[in-house]
Structure 1
Amino acid sequence: MATFELTDDTVVVIVGSGAGGGTLAHELTERGVDVVLFEAGGKQAPNTFVNDEWESFGQLAWLDNRHATGGWRVATDFPNLPAWICKTVGGSTTHWAGASLRFQEHEFKARDHYGAIDGANLLDWPIDLAEMEPFYARAEDKMGVTRTNGIPGLPGNNNFKVLYNGATRIGYKTVHTGRMAINSRPRDDRASCQQLGFCFQGCKMGAKWSTLYSEIPKAMATGHLELRTDSQVLQILHDSSGKATGVLYADAAGNQHEQRARVVAVAGNSIESPRLLLNSASSMFPDGLANSSGQVGRNYMRHTTGSVYAAMPEPVRMWRGTTMAGIIQDEAHHDDSRGFAGGYELETLSLGLPFMAAFLDPGAWGPDFARKMETYETMAGMWIVGEDMPQADNRVTLHGTDKDAHGLPVPVVAFTDHPNDVAMREHAYKQGAAVYDAAGAKETFRVPPYPSTHNLGTNRMSERPEDGVVNRWGRTHDVPNLFISDGSQFTTGAAENPTLTIVALAIRQAGHIADSMSRGEL
């Protein structure tokens, strides 16, 4: 691993080592760019992952206090927002399920296709699918996505077989085991999936793509990367012209240092990235860095979610095999005759027994709850993933009094469903139940959205500076050498799981940064 001096102002500093940051680091170092990659957490490995969901949450998740407010049920059930965002090398790519789907053409231009929707802050992306297609192709090859590049799909477990049975009986056509960044055969020096059934706890086989053991080791091998673990970036620094000059960070012992930089890229996720910009306020940027539009932290999206579980007549043992073992895509299109704009996916999902007890009906107790839990071995389950509406007041702000270990305000995450989200969820609940009823379910259960899901928006991409935070390359409108490289740059959320798009955007952004540096523009 390379090492760079704190005073070296030729390096690119990247904050966060997950799908966006880890990919950006690899792509830049392959082009000969020197990178210092900061990760607030420590480093795990396949042999240190634990196949126990509660212990794994403690090992990988960002456990610092947060606050949830707004009309969503999470604010009541889980007010300290224990979101499954990871504080570890690899970020949430250590924990994600692996679903890797391209956005549809219309989802890049939601404002144009959906029209004005009351209460929604819709905006078209300044890029489109045609521009993104070559980067999607590179991301799929890099990640080893099944059903692309001649890679076969994964086998279907019992959970998928129940889904497929019911889905085809009610007429759904696009039902399969998904496009997954999980090796169905050995590839890229990674083993094939052994169907261990602990995808969310870290893949002990290394079959699931993660920047932890894919992008970051490759970047290190170039001799152009320094990875600093247990190093939390506290502020982005700038000079009198408003140009970023580096970052202030705290090491594992709590000691603070300044790292100089030529370029700074923030990839800390849709909660921590806006928090960092807001905590970087100065006399020149009193409302937070890159926030002349007032959009930093706004338009927080998390997908319209919820789950349907079913008690089947015979044991399913849904925990066996790939966690996200299959998908129904028939409802992913836009058709406002259903009573809402946008679409949704239905994806198989299993929870371990402790998480099921926590999330099946938060706060419930007594005989009826116990009866439902007693059906666990026969349960089949699916998760709703739908496009939620960006809203200006769904946002991340700083708490007035609560501070973290470094004395900085913790984030407050405010969210309330838009009526479009509610209508979509109701439709998805009914369709999910219909799938299981057709497969012979004895009973179906509606499960409310979990506190953890896909975190998007808060530093959105926009054509005009007044409408968002970054331009079409993820560069902030206000600060010429400051970039956003994670899902917080999403203008809208689409119906698809976001990781593939985050990776594709990072590949595209790396080329832009490297080319701009070589031309002396950065």
Structure 2
Amino acid sequence: MSEQQYDADVIIIGSGVMGGVIATQLAKAGKSVIILEAGPRVTRAEILERYRSSPFKMSLTNMKLQGVGSPYPDLPHVPSTYGDYLQQSGPVKYPTKYLRVVGGTTWHFGSALWRMIPNDFKLQSLYGRGRDWPFGYDELEPWYGKAEHELGVSGVDGQDESGQGGKAWPPRSTPFPMPGLPTSYLFERLTEKLLKGGYNPVLEPNGRATRPYGRRPVCAGNNNCNPVCPIAAKYDGSQHIDEAERLGVKLLDNSVVYRIEADDSGAISSIWYRKPDGSNHQLKAKTFVLAAYGIESPKLLLMSTSEKYPNGIANSSDQVGRNLMGHTGISMNFMMNEDVWPGEGPTELLVYLNNRDGEFRKRFPSYKIKVRNTVPTADYTASLIAKGVLGTELDRQIRLLSARSLNFAIDFETLPLPENRVVPSKTKTDAIGIPVPDIYYSVNDYWEAGKDEGVKDFHQFAELLGGEILKIDTKYQDRQHIMGTTIMGDDPRTSVVNADCRTHDHPNLFIAGTSVMPSSSCMNPTLTGAALSLRLAHHLLTQVLV
């Protein structure tokens, strides 16, 4: 194939944070790049208007999901994951919510941007569970620092993120780009009470600006990071897409990639995409990066079957779509016996990490306990009115609930179980004829042992705080953290990509994002995905596109 036949040096499938970060780095180096995004462009103004007009907004049951009130588009060619797009075939539901729009899922993420710790990279070697990474924390550490600067992370330098209240951890070669957000009265009061039980407060590193950062203003504490930051103080992937386009990257929205083709040598030769009108189009490049997140990426690979690749692209190991991980969790609704006034500042910031690491991981998983700093006033009001509470008494009870109702949630580490997988549905397609994802998900005894430990912590919290447990919900809550479905490893027989995120089967196909992670830890994976993406971009520029 001659140079003139290529449409670009690199084609990137997916316009979320991973695709945007890579595109920006490549464009700065003068490479020609095309990004394809299945969904449409959205603007902050239209999202905000839909959110303000929605009757659902924030509620106890929809704190994060916003249910059918999601302000993001639900279009025939890209059905919303807030509906019935994801088919569930396993014993545990995996109703994850990701956005198919330009900029991707970080539009509505809570903005937690954590590093993993060294032992998270060697879970099998240390604790006999899951898998090890093909490299350790030291290899990724400088890329974590670069990712924190790219995404604009605010955090507390010198903090012990192990939850033990000791020295700074994990090791860092660079400080946070911005200082952490100020704490609220709620956080100070919880800290005072829970410290008596040995629970050390940790303030979450996050993507909210505490000083003007690039084009981002300082966080104003609007408290609706989900579903959208109204002033763009919170990082989202559209910011890297905007930069990439300013640098000359071409973005094709409403372009659903449905097939990846390989030539006789095994190299990827082209991709095919479909527009909402049903028309099909082909593009060719030297190098391809798949950055369509942990559900759509494996689905696309498995759909791309041929005589030479009957099981799909990059799937000689039969691991594509397998090893689906998340942070399946539980929660507790709690009524304090004093006013603490949640809702000041961002939706999440304070966490407890006493069980982040230790020998216990041989028996049960690591986990994070987080304080959900939200006040679902509309839900309180609707519930009270339904009970016949009106007038002055309604006002009194709304104030009481708003001042004292708390929600604590636990995110558990999960293991890469090969039976947990994503495949293209054999029975259902979307409006343009593309199979929807079919998900099988389950948890094992390891997770159940973690749940038992987490419930003990909830009861200990209740004793220390004073007040009343209203409900402990142990019904396998999804945390929208998708990992593992194109897993990384040194052995082509048991993994999809190598340590450089290159597919074992195809020399010019790379996969970016959290789907390559061999272990989940108990922490939000976005920063790890971004660090891996920056490392991948560097590899492309120094080893591939030369």
Using the size of structure 2 for normalisation, the TM-score is 0.83
Counterpart pick for 1:462 among 482, 489, 495: 489
Q: Is the 8 A contact 1:308 1:433 kept in 2?
A: no
Counterpart pick for 1:13 among 11, 20, 29: 11
Output one character per residue of 1:89-118: Cα deviation in whole Å (capped at 9) or x when no partner.
Answer: 111110111111111111111110111x5x
CA positional deviation for 1:130:
0.4
Structure 1's 18 and 352: CA in aligned 2 closer, same or farther, altered over 3 A? farther
The corresponding residue for 1:32 is 30
Cα distance in 2, alignment partners of residues 477 and 455 from structure 1 = 22
The corresponding residue for 2:158 is none
Q: Are 1:222 and 2:230 an aligned pair?
A: no
Q: Are 1:85 and 2:103 an aligned pair?
A: no
Structure 1's 324 and 227: CA in aligned 2 closer, same or farther, altered over 3 A? same
CA positional deviation for 1:416:
0.9
The two structures, once aligned, show a CA RMSD in angstroms of 2.6
CA positional deviation for 1:314:
4.1
Cα distance in 2, alignment partners of residues 354 and 270 from structure 1 = 34
DSSP-derived class of the 1:434 partner: helix
Q: Are 1:343 and 2:362 an aligned pair?
A: no
Output one character per residue of 1:406-439: Cα deviation in whole Å (capped at 9) or x when no partner.
Answer: 3232211111111111111221232134224312
Q: Are 1:135 and 2:158 an aligned pair?
A: no
Q: Is the 8 A contact 2:15 2:37 kept in 1?
A: yes
Cα distance in 1, alignment partners of residues 359 and 378 from structure 2 = 34
Cα distance in 1, alignment partners of residues 377 and 324 from structure 2 = 29
Output one character per residue of 1:200-257: Cα deviation in whole Å (capped at 9) or x when no partner.
Answer: 11111111111212x112212222x011111111111222222111211112333211
Counterpart pick for 2:216 among 180, 186, 190: 190
DSSP-derived class of the 2:330 partner: strand
The corresponding residue for 1:245 is 269
Cα distance in 1, alignment partners of residues 362 and 133 from structure 2 = 24
Letter of the 1:114 counterpart: Y
Gaps of 5+ in 1: 76-80, 368-372
Output one character per residue of 1:266-310: Cα deviation in whole Å (capped at 9) or x when no partner.
Answer: 111111111000011111110111100000011100124122221
Letter of the 2:218 counterpart: S
Structure 1's 296 and 339: CA in aligned 2 closer, same or farther, altered over 3 A? closer
Letter of the 1:145 counterpart: V
CA positional deviation for 1:40:
1.2
CA positional deviation for 1:343:
1.3
Structure 1's 437 and 89: CA in aligned 2 closer, same or farther, altered over 3 A? farther
Cα distance in 2, alignment partners of residues 7 and 91 from structure 1 = 30
Counterpart pick for 2:537 among 482, 487, 510: 510
Structure 1's 6 and 429: CA in aligned 2 closer, same or farther, altered over 3 A? farther
DSSP-derived class of the 1:474 partner: coil
The corresponding residue for 2:120 is 107
Output one character per residue of 1:432-465: Cα deviation in whole Å (capped at 9) or x when no partner.
Answer: 3422431222224222333452111111001110
Alignment map for 1:293-312 (pairs within 5 Å):
293-312=317-336
Structure 1's 381 and 163: CA in aligned 2 closer, same or farther, altered over 3 A? farther
Structure 1's 141 and 401: CA in aligned 2 closer, same or farther, altered over 3 A? same
Q: Are 1:232 and 2:240 an aligned pair?
A: no
Moved more, 299-308 or 435-444: 435-444
Counterpart pick for 2:107 among 65, 78, 94: 94
Counterpart pick for 1:278 among 299, 302, 306: 302
CA positional deviation for 1:353:
4.0
CA positional deviation for 1:10:
3.5
Counterpart pick for 1:427 among 445, 453, 463: 453
Cα distance in 2, alignment partners of residues 162 and 407 from structure 1 = 54
The corresponding residue for 1:200 is 226
Counterpart pick for 1:404 among 411, 419, 430: 430
Output one character per residue of 1:454-491: Cα deviation in whole Å (capped at 9) or x when no partner.
Answer: 11111100111001100001110001111110111111
Counterpart pick for 1:414 among 432, 437, 440: 440
Structure 1's 354 and 54: CA in aligned 2 closer, same or farther, altered over 3 A? farther
Q: Are 1:262 and 2:286 an aligned pair?
A: yes
Cα distance in 1, alignment partners of residues 101 and 377 from structure 2 = 23
Letter of the 2:544 counterpart: M
Using the size of structure 1 for normalisation, the TM-score is 0.87
Q: Is the 8 A contact 1:233 1:250 kept in 2?
A: yes
CA positional deviation for 1:64:
6.3
Q: Are 1:156 and 2:183 an aligned pair?
A: yes
Moved more, 503-512 or 246-255: 246-255
The corresponding residue for 1:370 is none
Structure 1's 403 and 240: CA in aligned 2 closer, same or farther, altered over 3 A? same
Letter of the 2:497 counterpart: V
Cα distance in 2, alignment partners of residues 291 and 67 from structure 1 = 22
DSSP-derived class of the 1:271 partner: helix
Q: Is the 8 A contact 1:404 1:410 kept in 2?
A: yes
DSSP-derived class of the 2:504 partner: coil
Cα distance in 2, alignment partners of residues 356 and 331 from structure 1 = 32
The corresponding residue for 2:172 is none
Letter of the 1:92 counterpart: T
DSSP-derived class of the 1:190 partner: coil
CA positional deviation for 1:47:
2.4
Q: Is the 8 A contact 1:64 1:404 kept in 2?
A: no
Q: Is the 8 A contact 1:163 1:435 kept in 2?
A: no
Q: Is the 8 A contact 2:266 2:506 kept in 1?
A: yes
DSSP-derived class of the 1:471 partner: coil
Q: Is the 8 A contact 1:166 1:436 kept in 2?
A: no
Cα distance in 2, alignment partners of residues 315 and 55 from structure 1 = 32
Output one character per residue of 1:314-372: Cα deviation in whole Å (capped at 9) or x when no partner.
Answer: 45553443111211122211232x77244111122256749979xx9xxxx999xxxxx
